[in-house]
């Protein structure tokens, strides 16, 4: 199920490094990434487009996991970058990420965010709403500088993993509606502005998607609009950005497609539309987040207390929880785990892995078969690389965990563990 090796000692290995040694060296909870898996995923996307002879940008959606080290790897792997805030843009600048390959997203970009993007000459702003158009035009006039933009549209397709809901009137906080002419109005406003270059359209239909039909439907919707813009305004999109959302395996119920399949289907579908409407083939941009980093990481926890309720359940508590992985509490997300120091042992127990927060909902995994679990065992939860550290928080004033990158047997600390001073660093006294 998971992509990692087990050592002769029966220890889980990540990136050629013994996770039990890592737990001793850096403490727990600990996010451990195998960088070679990140590279493998990045290359699968980039190479597929290259091999099929299509101009593309694969922009890593840094919301999934943003850190200087991560963005350095993304840069090495020739990815572009999707940022959604000043903080993510700041991190990208700190990582010396080429600014012309950065795209700025957001449904409520502030004046400061847009100005920071403009001053740093980022590659593209994905325009989301009319208020943003006002801010953007004001800032571009002030700086007398040009900016490429994509228009974010809601194509009326919302993908909930396996099924697709088509709504005539999209109920989403993001982007311009295609259905009621908002996108046309936005196009007119943007295209008449001297400092703005409309490069094309953007849409993102959802996350953790396992099928390609939703993308195909979205492409049809986008081309319905592009067809009319060609006729009425003689406009052709140079870029089509289809967002991210490609699903990964968390448990054996998940069956993701190979990453290459998504790219291939997108290209085929766009080719058909382009031919049908006699258009030039646009550059294809995608924004995978989860599928680049998700399964490249495990979180290591130390087992502490255990509570057995006879005939009902055995709770095993670990030293992290919803502070380092909010997804089970927030989305009832399912994960798989093993005992990293007993990786070859037979499963003889069924336990539920509880977090340490003062909240009943702080459960990482319900009812999972594991070998006999004892205090000080190290539990490794798989596929925690996306929206794990990124959504970690200080609930109960827990310091944030550390992050280690491993590759070819070498480990490197890339985010330090917080201490209690960090937790209280912005507090001021009152009396």
Q: Contact residues for ligand LLP (CB under 6 A)?
A: 61, 64, 82, 105, 204, 207-208, 243-246, 287-291, 327, 331, 386-387
Q: State the nearest-atom distance from the C-beta of 257 to ligand LLP, in Å.
A: 13
The tally of CA atoms less than 13 A away on the side-chain side of residue 346 is 1
Smallest gap, in angstroms, from Cβ of residue 386 to ligand LLP? 6
Using the minimum distance from each CB to ligand LLP, give the nearer residue, 160 or 416: 160
Q: Is 221 annotated as a binding residue?
A: no
Strands 283-286 and 176-177: what pairing? unpaired
Both tokens of 207, joined, read: 């996350």
Annotated catalytic residue 124: no
CB of 239 to ligand LLP, least distance (A): 14
Q: Distances in Å between the alpha carbon of 81 and those of 124, 229, 290?
A: 10, 28, 13
Q: Which residues pair with 60 in a beta bridge?
A: 81
Binding site annotation covers 144?
no
Report yes or no: 219 and 269 within 8 Å, Cβ to Cβ: yes
Tokens in use for 10? Answer: 């029966």
Q: Which of 393, 406, 396, 208 minimizes the C-alpha distance to 300?
A: 406
88 within 8 A of 69, measured Cβ to Cβ: no
Question: Annotation-wise, does 327 bind a ligand?
Answer: yes
Is residue 395 annotated as involved in ligand binding?
A: no
Nearer to ligand LLP, 244 or 282 (CB): 244
The minimum distance between CB 55 and ligand LLP, in angstroms, equals 19
CB of 393 to ligand LLP, least distance (A): 13
What are the helix (H) ranges across 52-181?
Answer: 68-76, 86-94, 111-119, 130-143
User: Is 289 annotated as a binding-site member?
Assistant: yes
Which candidate in 203, 297, 357, 358 is catalytic? 358
**CA 86 to CA 294: how far, in whole Å?**
23
Residue number, 200 or 371, with CB nearest to ligand LLP: 200
Q: Please say which residue, 150 or 402, places its beta carbon nearer to ligand LLP.
A: 150
With CA atoms as reference, report the closest residue to 288 among 207, 188, 388, 361.
207
Give whichever of 22 and 239 is closer to ligand LLP, judged by the CB atom: 239
Which C-beta is closer to ligand LLP: that of 77 or that of 82? 82
CB of 167 to ligand LLP, least distance (A): 18
Closest approach, Cβ 154 to ligand LLP, in A, equals: 11
Angle at 377 between CA 372 and CA 380, to 5 degrees: 95
Q: Is 51 annotated as a binding residue?
A: no
Q: Is 331 annotated as a binding residue?
A: yes
- Sign of the dihedral through C-alpha 102, 106, 112, 115: positive
* 3-class secondary-structure state, position 134: helix
Q: Is the bond leading into 29 cis (omega within 30 degrees of zero)?
A: yes
**Dist CA 262 CA 286 (whole Å):** 10
User: H/E element holding 34?
Assistant: strand 30-34
What distance in Å separates the CA atoms of residue 14 and residue 426, rounded to the nearest whole number?
36
Residue 328 known to bind ligand: no
Is 389 labelled as part of a ligand binding site? Answer: no
The answer for residues whose C-beta is within 8 angstroms of residue 352's C-beta and 6 or more apart is 313, 314, 315, 316, 363, 365, 366, 367, 368
E-assigned strands of 122-252?
124-127, 147-154, 157-160, 163-166, 176-177, 196-202, 239-241
Question: What's the length of the chain?
Answer: 431
Determine how many CB atoms are found less than 10 A away from the CB of residue 112.
Answer: 11
- Whose Cβ is closer to ligand LLP: residue 23's or residue 37's? 37
Q: Which is nearer to ligand LLP, 389 or 405 (CB)?
A: 389
DSSP class of 114: H
> Which one, of 91, 79, 21, lies nearest residue 49 by Cα?
79
Closest separation in Å from C-beta 66 to ligand LLP: 12
Supply the residues annotated as catalytic.
358
Known binding residues for pyridoxal 5'-phosphate are 245, 287-290, 387
Known binding residues for substrate are 290, 327, 331, 359, 387
């Amino acid at each position: 199920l998971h992509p990692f090796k087990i050592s002769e000692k029966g220890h889980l290995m990540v990136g050629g490094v013994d996770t039990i040694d890592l737990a001793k060296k850096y403490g727990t909870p600990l996010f451990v990434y195998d960088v070679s898996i990140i590279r493998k995923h990045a290359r699968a996307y980039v190479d597929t487009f290259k091999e099929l002879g299509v101009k593309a940008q694969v922009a890593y959606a840094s919301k999934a996991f943003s850190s200087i080290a991560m963005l350095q790897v993304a840069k090495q792997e020739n990815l572009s970058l999707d940022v959604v805030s000043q903080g993510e843009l700041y991190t990208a600048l700190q990582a010396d990420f080429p600014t012309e390959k950065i795209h700025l997203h957001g449904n409520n970009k502030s004046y400061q965010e847009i100005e920071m993007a403009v001053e740093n000459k980022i590659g593209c702003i994905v325009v989301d709403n009319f208020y943003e158009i006002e801010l953007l035009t004001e800032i571009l006039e002030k700086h007398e500088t040009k900016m490429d933009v994509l228009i974010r549209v809601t194509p009326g397709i919302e993908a909930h993993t396996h099924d697709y809901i088509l709504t005539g009137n999209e109920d989403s906080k993001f982007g311009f509606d295609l259905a009621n002419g908002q996108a046309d109005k936005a196009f007119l406003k943007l295209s008449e502005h001297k400092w703005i270059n409309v490069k094309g359209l953007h849409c993102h239909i959802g996350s953790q998607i396992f099928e390609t039909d939703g993308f195909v439907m979205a492409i049809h919707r986008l081309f319905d609009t592009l067809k009319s813009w060609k006729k009425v305004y003689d406009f052709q999109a140079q870029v089509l950005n289809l967002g991210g959302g490609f699903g990964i395996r968390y448990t054996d119920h998940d069956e993701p497609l190979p990453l290459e399949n998504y790219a291939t289907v997108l290209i085929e579908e766009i080719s058909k539309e382009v031919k049908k409407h006699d258009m030039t083939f646009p550059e294809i941009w995608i924004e995978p987040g989860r599928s680049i980093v998700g399964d490249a990481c495990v979180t290591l926890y130390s087992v502490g207390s255990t509570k057995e309720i006879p005939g009902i359940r055995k709770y095993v508590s670990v030293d992290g929880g919803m502070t380092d992985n909010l997804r089970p509490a927030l989305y009832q997300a399912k994960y798989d785990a093993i005992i990293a120091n007993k990786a070859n042992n037979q499963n003889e127990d069924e336990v539920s892995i509880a977090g340490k927060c003062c909240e009943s909902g702080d459960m990482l995994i319900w009812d999972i078969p594991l070998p006999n679990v004892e205090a000080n065992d190290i539990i490794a939860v798989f596929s925690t690389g996306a929206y794990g550290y990124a959504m970690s928080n200080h609930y109960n004033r827990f310091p944030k965990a550390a992050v280690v990158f491993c590759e070819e047997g070498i480990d490197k600390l890339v985010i330090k563990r917080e201490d209690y001073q960090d937790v209280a660093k912005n507090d001021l006294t009152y009396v």
